Amino acid sequence: MSLSKDAKAARIARQECKVSDLEAALDHEREKLAGMKGEGPQVDQADDITPLWEVAPDMARKRSSPLKCRKAWKRIKPADRPSMEDVLLAMFAWKRDPEWKRDGGQFVPALDRWINEQRWEDPPQQTEAPSRARLPQKPLPVASDEAVTDPAEIAALLGTKPRRINS
């Protein structure tokens, strides 16, 4: 029975995903064990997502867990991982996004989903906030020195259409 190249590649990708999940779970168990022994957690510096966890919005942390985030981070190949500084800068940009602030953070994704989707690669579009100042109005036409009695000229000065008056 021969498998196609695509099927083999998919099977290998699934196995790599399982391995990264198992590595993250093993790291989590090591942290728990180290906590029981009174030692600090033994986390590899490259896999440490604590800074990202700390700066993420509350809603993103509520919808996720450090273990899920670590698993998502480990799924990214080390060669493809950006520096933590780049990820933190992107997170700060996303935190300023009006969509994330709307409705009490209702549209903020879980942090592990943000990592899985590699959202640091596409920062939010910066839109200028609507100005609260009034737009400059058109200059008003200036009346001549003599008294204005023509209804059409009065309407032009007021910026309205002249009304027909039945007599």
User: Each residue of 32-57: pLDDT tens digit?
Assistant: 787 776 655 555 566 788 999 999 99
Using CA atoms, how far residue 105 sits from 30, 51, 100, in Å, is: 34, 20, 5
pTM: 0.52
Q: Which two tokens stand for residue 132?
A: 């609260």
Domain assignment present for 91: yes
Across the chain, what does the average pLDDT equal? 79
Domain that holds residue 77: 5-121
Instruction: Give dist(CA 62, CA 34) in Å, integer.
Output: 25
pLDDT for 1 beyond 60: no
Domain assignment present for 136: no
Domain assignment present for 165: no
Domain assignment present for 133: no
pLDDT for 100 beyond 80: yes
Say how many domains are in the chain.
1
Domain assignment present for 138: no
